[in-house]
Structure 1
Amino acid sequence: MKESITTEEATKTAIVMPFFQILGYDVFNPMEFNPEFTADVGIKKGEKVDYAILSEGKPVILIECKGITQTLTKHDSQLFRYFGTTTSKFSILTNGIEYKFFTDLEETNKMDVTPFFTFNILDLRDIHIAEIAKFRKSTFDVDNITSTASELKYLSAFKSYLSTQFDLPSEKFVKFMVNEIYDGVKTKSTIEKFTPIIHKGLKQLINEQVNDKLNAALKSTDDNKSNTPIVKEEIIEEIESSDGIVTTNEELESYAVVRVALRDDVDPERIFYRDNKSYFNIMLDDNIRKWILRVYFEKNRNFIVLNDAPKDKERTIIEFVKPLDILDSKDIIIKTTKQFL
C-alpha cells in the first residue's frame, strides 16, 4: 500500500494502527489506545499527541505519527516536549515505515535526544522482532524494558559506527588502526596509503567469516551425508570473465547460501551458477533448462526470481537485503528444485 498512501491520516489508519493492533492493543478503545491525547506543554494548553497507550488511566507510551513520505529527524523536538508533560516512560516516533523508541536514560523525566531502539519495518531482523515483542500488551513491563534499554542503545550505536567504517573508514578510524599495526611515522601520506588497505581488509574479514559459517553449515549435515563438499575458499574473491561480466562477492555468497538451503535434498555438487550481465543464475546439473532461481542486485533493491512457473505465468519474486537473507526462502527454493530432480 505504500505508494497509495499520501497523507498522515492515511499512514495512521493503514499502517500505524494495525501495527499496534498486532501487538495486542485495542486501537478502538480510547481507554487503552487514546487518539489525540492532550499533553499540555508549559504555557501551551491543549497540545495533543497522536496516540497514548494507557494503563490504569495513565499514559505509558506516547506515539507521534508523521506521513509515510516524511523523514523523522526534524520531528524529534516536538515529541521531546510532549514527553516531559506526562507520566509516560516511553515515546515512539514513526512514519509507519521507520519506528524510533525513546526513553529517559540520560536524565529522569527528560526524553533522550537519541532513540534507544530503531527499526525499519521493511528491513526487520530477528533481533528487532525480539525487542518489538517486549512492547506487546500481554508482556509489557516497564522495568524489564528499561533495564535493557541502555545496553540496546549503545549496542546499536556501536554497530552503526562499525557498519559506517566498514563501508567508508574515516580518517580518525584509519589513524587508530594504523597505530595498532604500523610502527613507522604516521604522516598524512601514510594514512592515505593505509585507507584502501584497511577498507579492503575489513571487507575480506567479513567475507571470510561468512564463508566460514557457510562451510560449517555444510559440514553439519547428517552422517549419511558426511562427505558433502564444502564451499571453496575462492568464493571470497570477485571473478571477472573474458566478456567483462564481474561475478561479485555478493553473488557468490548467494550461490553458497542456496547450496546450504538445498543440502538436505540435493548433493551440493549438483548446484552450479552462471553469471549474466543483468542477473546471476543458479541451476541444477549445470543445465540452463534447470535453472532454480535468478538473483538480481539492483541499485534500489535486491531480489530473487524463482523458476516455479512456466515462462508465460507469474513467477515468485522475493526481495532481500543481504545474501544470507535468501535462506529465509529455503522452503520454496527446495520446492522449486524438486521439480527438476
Structure 2
Amino acid sequence: MSFDEKIAALIQRLPKLTDHLQTEEATKNALVMPFIAALGYDVFNPKEVVPEFTADIGTKRGEKVDYAIMRDGETIILFECKKANSDLSQECMSQLYRYFSVTKARIAILTNGIQYKFFSDLEETNRMDNKPFLELDLSNPKSNALFEVKKMAKEDFDLDRMLSTASELKYTSEIKKVIQIQSESPDEEFVRFFFQRVIPSSRFTSTYRELFTPLVAKAFHQFLSDKVSDRLRYALENENVTTENVPEVASESGQESTRNDIVTTDEELDGWNIVRAICAKKVVPSRIMHRDTKSYMGILLDDNNRKPICRLWFNSKNKYLGVFDVNKVETRIPIESTVDIYQHADKILEILTTYIK
C-alpha cells in the first residue's frame, strides 16, 4: 500500500480508536506506529526504527525519546509521543528540545497520535526551533500538509530538500495564522493600514476605527469568497468534458485496455486505492473495481455499472472527484490531489451503503 492509502486507512480508523486510547503506550501502538509505517519505515526493524532511543543529556543519564528513525546508522527523525487528545504543551516541547540537542537528527516530531508538530533547527544549528515548521491534524487533514509529510517517507526522504522547504513552510504557516486572526478580529494597526489607503487625507479617529473595523473583516471575507468563486467558475468553464454519454471501457488492474488512447495513470490508481481503503469500512476491498475511460476512471462495486461509487476526473488540467447521490446523479467536486478524496469519505460511504443494504 502507498503512503496515501495507509494514511487514508489510519484516518478512517481514528473515530473508532480515540475514545479507547487512555495511555501513551496504547496511543503509540494504535496510532503512532501505523503513522511511521505509512512513511515506509519498518517499525519492527531496529536498524530503521529504534523505540525508547537513549538520548543522554549532560549529567542526566537514561533519558529516552519514544522513537528514533535511522538511516545508515544515523538518527534522522525523532518522535516524542503523548497520550491521544492530550495537549502538546510547551513542557512537552521543552522535553523534545533537550533530546534534539544531543542527537544528529534534524527533524523532531511531537505528537499525540492525532496532531503532529514538526520541528527543525532553522534559526540556530542544533537548537530546535520554538515553533514548528509544519503541523498536521489527522482529524482534519489538509492536503498541503500531507503533501509535505509525504516527503519524509523512506523512499522519498531527502534531508537537504526537506530543510530547504522547511523555512518557507514555517513562515508561510505563521503568516497564514496572522491572516486568519486579522480576518476574524482585525486589530487597530491592521485596520489603520487599510484606512490610510482608502481615505489617505483623513485622520484615523476613534469614530473611523469603530466604522472600519467590521468593514475590514467583512471585505476580507468577501474577497476570499470571490476568489474561490472565480476559481471554481474558471475550472468549470475550462472543463471540456461532460458526464453524459461517455463510453466505459473495462480496464481492470493488470489488464490491457481495448483502446490505445486510454492510459491508466499512477495517480488514478492511487485514487482508486484510497477509495478502496475508505470502502473497506463496509465491504472487502476486492469488491471495489475500476473501469478506465478516456475522460475519467469509474469506480464500481462488484464491477457493476449499476453500482457506481465515484468517478476520478483526472485527465484534464483540473481534477475532480465525481460523487453520486441516491438517485445516481453525479456531482463533481474540485480537488487538488488524491489525498483530498478521503475528505469526502462520507459521500462515498453513503452511496456504497445503498448498494449493500
Q: TM-score, normalised by structure 2?
A: 0.63
The reply on whether 1:196 has 2:214 as its aligned counterpart is yes
2:26 corresponds to: 10
1:105 corresponds to: 122
Equivalent residue for 2:63, pick from 47, 50, 66: 47
Consecutive unaligned residues in structure 1, runs of 5 or more: 226-263, 266-305, 310-324
Give the 3-state SS of the residue equivalent to 2:34 in structure 1.
Answer: helix
Distance 2:241 2:76 in 1: 54
The reply on whether 1:208 has 2:226 as its aligned counterpart is yes
Give the 3-state SS of the residue equivalent to 2:94 in structure 1.
Answer: helix
* CA shift for structure 1 position 42: 1.6
The reply on whether 1:72 has 2:88 as its aligned counterpart is yes
* CA shift for structure 1 position 224: 7.6
* CA shift for structure 1 position 11: 0.7
Distance 1:162 1:16 in 2: 32
Contact 1:21 1:27 in 2 (8 A): yes
1:236 corresponds to: none
Residues 110, 328 of structure 1: CA spacing in aligned structure 2 closer, same or farther, 3 A cutoff?
A: closer
Distance 2:68 2:166 in 1: 20
1:57 corresponds to: 73
* CA shift for structure 1 position 158: 0.9
1:19 corresponds to: 35
Distance 2:350 2:197 in 1: 47
Distance 2:231 2:127 in 1: 44
Distance 1:181 1:191 in 2: 13
Distance 1:59 1:23 in 2: 16
Give the AA of the match of 1:193: L
Give the AA of the match of 2:160: D
2:168 corresponds to: 151
Equivalent residue for 2:49, pick from 33, 37, 61: 33
Give the 3-state SS of the residue equivalent to 1:119 in structure 2.
Answer: strand
* CA shift for structure 1 position 117: 0.9
Give the 3-state SS of the residue equivalent to 2:116 in structure 1.
Answer: strand
Give the 3-state SS of the residue equivalent to 1:136 in structure 2.
Answer: coil
1:281 corresponds to: none
Equivalent residue for 2:110, pick from 88, 93, 96: 93
Give the 3-state SS of the residue equivalent to 2:76 in structure 1.
Answer: strand
More displaced, 47-56 or 117-126? 117-126
Contact 1:90 1:101 in 2 (8 A): yes
Give the 3-state SS of the residue equivalent to 1:59 in structure 2.
Answer: strand
Aligned residue runs from structure 1 range 113-132, under 5 A: 113-132=130-149
Give the 3-state SS of the residue equivalent to 1:202 in structure 2.
Answer: helix
The reply on whether 1:164 has 2:181 as its aligned counterpart is yes
Distance 1:14 1:334 in 2: 27
Runs of at least 4 residues of structure 1 off by over 2 A?
220-225, 306-309, 325-336
The reply on whether 1:182 has 2:182 as its aligned counterpart is no
Query: What CA deviation, in whole Å up to 9, does each residue of 1:47-88 have, x standing for no partner?
Result: 110111112222111110011121113211110011001111
1:222 corresponds to: 240
Query: What CA deviation, in whole Å up to 9, does each residue of 1:158-215 have, x standing for no partner?
Result: 1121122112212221122222222210122321210011111111111111221222
Distance 1:120 1:55 in 2: 26
**Percent of pairs identical after alignment?**
44
Residues 58, 329 of structure 1: CA spacing in aligned structure 2 closer, same or farther, 3 A cutoff?
A: closer
Residues 92, 189 of structure 1: CA spacing in aligned structure 2 closer, same or farther, 3 A cutoff?
A: same
Distance 1:90 1:178 in 2: 43
Query: What CA deviation, in whole Å up to 9, does each residue of 1:96-139 have, x standing for no partner?
Result: 11111111111011111111111111222221122111110111
Distance 1:7 1:33 in 2: 21
Q: How many pairs align? A: 245
Consecutive unaligned residues in structure 2, runs of 5 or more: 1-16, 244-294, 297-323, 328-339
Distance 1:45 1:223 in 2: 65
2:255 corresponds to: none
Residues 329, 190 of structure 1: CA spacing in aligned structure 2 closer, same or farther, 3 A cutoff?
A: same
Distance 1:177 1:21 in 2: 49
